[in-house]
Structure 1
Amino acid sequence: MENYNRTDGFEGEKMIDLPEAVCEAFCQKTPAFNQFYITHIGYFPNAKRHYIQRANGCKDNILIYCLHGKGYCSIGSHHFDILPNQYLILPATSDILTYGADNEEPWTIYWVHFTGPNIELFNQSLEIFGYRGPVTLALNKRGLSVWEEMYNCLTGGFSIDNLRHANLCLHHFLASFLYPEPINNQNEDLNCIEAIIGYMEKMIDSRLTVEEMAARLQLSASYFSTIFKKATGMPPMDYFIQLKMQKACQLLYLENMKVKDVAEAIGYEDPFYFSRQFKKHMKISPVLYKEASRRHLA
């Protein structure tokens, strides 16, 4: 049973409900998208008297982003107040679910319902639980831009292409909240990493050490290695080698260069050592890679 208090809607509101039959047909035709997908999407500005109670919970996850004003939410025995620039992801649940706008300062919210056959596993893996509560973040311009893209796709109709486009955007939309852009000293660290990656690309034909790269940024080698791995997922030297192997692939594929010349172009004096490194990382020898590329071009 569901109770609503939305007599006349809200001036300037935007809302799209995707029929269940449309969602089912979309999942059948494009099974790669059925892990989770949009079921409803909306924007309620100054949503005075907005109130919804779902006695049997909701099969969808619901992301609510409060841009202005205030609101509240109760899920099971947990109650939360929601303030400006806070978002809340309500997980799919069978518990009683209630949410609505503050009487004095009604919220302005962007919201999306999404679900899928593995929504519980999705929630577990990202630790989306009913007791988590709202999360504060800086104004999420990226998320709002992606929301508009999703909404505009769906206003154009429920064609397969529009549904694919909107649901690909859904991943980006969720990521903008779960992994917001870093701030303060994290931004400084990322700027350092971007700078040194650019330097690696310029020095692709040279030999670099961690100490040289760290010194260029006026950082200790240990701290540089830590922040680099945190940002990229791999140590600096491994990343530099990967860049070299990518460049080698381009030269073998596009320039039709000899293996010896490719090795020299990316800073390897010994072509046999280069060949071993190439095979280690690409799972194929440079000679075979070159032959396969030429067959592809033909």
Structure 2
Amino acid sequence: MDQIADGFKGERAIVVPYSVRIFQSENELTKNAFITHMGYYPNAKYHFRKRSKGALENILIYCESGKGFITLENEQFSLTKDQAFIIPAHKAHSYEAEISKPWSIYWLHFKGTANSLHAAVSGKILNLNDSRSSDRLNLFEEIYQNLEMGFNPDNLEYSSICLQHFLASIKYTGQFLKIKTADTEVLDVIPMSIIFMKNNLTNKITLHDIAQYTGYSSSYFGALFLEKTSFTPIEYYNQLKIQKSCSLLQFSNLKIKEIAYELGYYDPFHFSKSFRLVMEISPREYRLRYKAPV
């Protein structure tokens, strides 16, 4: 079978839009370290990527299980369970899963000004088996789920701070202490409403529907949501739809028209226009560009 860059059963990925990356690079709380892509590839048989000129971002690969190989400037490394590797930006590299025991990997692309946070541990195997791996992966999920909830300033800033904690947990393994997991009960009306939006991406809901779910009037809820997120509820809802469409464009074989219908856009041209407003490229261009983001 041919080697592949993605398309693994159960895979997940998020790509941050370019316009959002500009915000991240200029914001005081995010410019030190911020995510551009991240995801998870389980049992990634035949996984292979090669970049002769390197990537624009640093790439972190965290092996959950199985085995794979990383080649950085003609030096090969073997990566196994509870090991990580940071590939510096602009360095020629390739990586691939072992055929007989393919790796399952968490991965992320990141940029920022805080090079000292990762430079000392880049380009070498990092053994993390004695430093509470499950807690570190919980932190990865914290970042992923916040970005999945949308690209508002609070989510971006919180995710950036979590990323710095995540990188610090790899650099300072001896100091990394167990993280207390937060209560998962949703107490705040804003995340509660966002979850409602995410559960209704295939429908077409209104501001009234969302406000009614939270128990507030449309006017009060709309003003509260705008204050907390910098977006109106419907703007945010549409962003979540576009984010979901990115995943479908990247990881499914659905036609663009089918994706539009799947997400409640009964006019494919309206979908394409909405997509371009958020991502700054057309759905077709996105599919061509991001079919293999890792």
TM-score, normalised to structure 1, is 0.54
Give the superposition deviation at 1:182: 6.5
Count residues in correspondence. Answer: 175
Q: Distance in 1 between matches of 2:148 and 2:91?
A: 32
Q: Which moved more, 1:167-176 or 1:132-141?
A: 132-141
Q: CA deviation at 1:86?
A: 0.9
Does 1:11 find its partner at 2:9?
yes
- Matched with 2:149 is 156
- The runs of 5 or more residues in structure 1 that have no matched partner are 184-298
Pairing partner for 1:135 from 120, 127, 130: 127
Residues 123 and 166 (structure 1), Cα distance of their counterparts in 2 relative to 1, 3 Å cut: closer
Q: Match of 2:102?
A: 106
2:274 aligned partner: none
Alignment partner, residue 65 of structure 1? 62
- Alignment counterpart, residue 169 of structure 1, candidates 153, 162, 177: 162
Shift of 1:118: 5.3
Structure 1 residues 136 and 117, CA, compared in 2 at 3 Å: closer, same or farther?
Answer: closer
Q: Which amino acid aligns with 1:128?
A: V
2-side partners of 1:73 and 1:167: how far apart?
26
Aligned pairs for 1:1-298 within 5 A: 5-6=4-5, 9-28=7-26, 30-92=27-89, 94-117=90-113, 119=115, 121-124=116-119, 127-130=120-123, 132-138=124-130, 140-181=133-174
Shift of 1:32: 3.5
CA distance 1:47–1:171, shift in 2 (3 Å): same
Q: Distance in 2 between matches of 1:140 and 1:114?
A: 20
Distance 2:39 2:122 in 1: 22
Q: Which has the higher helix share?
A: 1
- 2:29–2:161 CA contact under 8 A, matched in 1: no
What is the deviation of 1:174? 1.3
- Code of the residue aligned with 1:162 in structure 2: it is N
CA distance in 2, matches of 1:90, 1:165: 24
Distance 1:122 1:144, change over 3 A: closer
The one-letter code sitting in structure 1 at the alignment partner of 2:111 is T
Deviation at 1:59, TM superposition (A): 2.3
Q: SS of 1:172's equivalent? A: helix
For residues 20 and 91 of structure 2, what CA distance do their matches in structure 1 show? 27
Distance 2:105 2:113 in 1: 27
Using CA pairs below 8 Å that are at least 6 residues apart, which structure has the higher relative contact order?
2
Larger radius of gyration: 1
Could you say which residue in structure 2 is the equivalent of 1:220?
none
Q: Is the 8 A contact 1:91 1:128 kept in 2?
A: no
Q: In 2, distance between residues paired with 1:136 and 1:150?
A: 19
CA contact (8 A) 2:20 2:151 kept: yes
Within 2, Cα distance between the matches of 1:23 and 1:74?
A: 28
**Matches of 2:5 and 2:86 in 1, distance apart?**
22
Structure 2 SS opposite 1:43: strand
Superposition deviation, residue 20 in structure 1: 2.1
Q: Which runs of 5+ in 2 are unaligned?
A: 177-294
